[in-house]
């Protein structure tokens, strides 16, 4: 039967700096692999909708005609599935978490600026 089993730990904890962090005043610990939030490079997105199909929480919505890419940050569960499957690698994972909110912000809208390069014209010379 032990009585003062924790004294050693308690004494050490008194002289140690706090184990907790004053988040959000101080930034949270992040590692290079941390999954924070998805970032899109609108100049490269080809509106293929693969990210929309592969999203397990249906947070991404792409409109190829209107050239928009939407993401609902509160639905997104930051699984990295879209980043892995994007064929042109226009999606990347940022290591910083999105700040917490008090009102539901709805979907975040991005306008895709990618323009498909024109096909080289087939002339009589190139056919030959």
Q: Which residues bind other proteins (CB under 8 A)?
A: 1-3, 5-6, 8-10, 13, 19, 29, 31, 33-35, 54, 56, 77, 79-81, 84, 93
- CB neighbours of 112 closer than 8 A, spacing ≥ 6? 42, 45, 47, 67, 68, 69
Closest approach, Cβ 23 to other proteins, in A, equals: 13
φ/ψ of 40, rounded to 5, equals -115, 140
Q: Among residues 2 and 117, whose Cβ is nearest to other proteins?
A: 2
Closest approach, Cβ 9 to other proteins, in A, equals: 6
Q: Among residues 3 and 103, whose Cβ is nearest to other proteins?
A: 3
């Amino acid at each position: 039967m032990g009585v003062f089993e924790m004294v050693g730990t308690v004494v050490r904890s008194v002289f140690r700096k706090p184990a907790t962090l004053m988040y959000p005043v101080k930034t949270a610990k992040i590692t290079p692999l941390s999954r924070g939030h998805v970032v899109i490079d609108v100049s490269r997105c080809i509106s293929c909708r693969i990210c929309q199909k592969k999203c397990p929480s249906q947070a991404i919505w792409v409109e190829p005609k209107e050239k928009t890419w939407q993401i609902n940050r509160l639905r997104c569960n930051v699984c990295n599935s879209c980043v892995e499957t994007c064929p042109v690698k226009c999606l990347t994972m940022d290591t910083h978490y999105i700040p917490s909110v008090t009102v539901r912000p709805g979907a975040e809208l991005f306008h895709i600026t990618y323009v498909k390069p024109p096909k080289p014209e087939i002339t009589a010379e190139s056919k030959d």
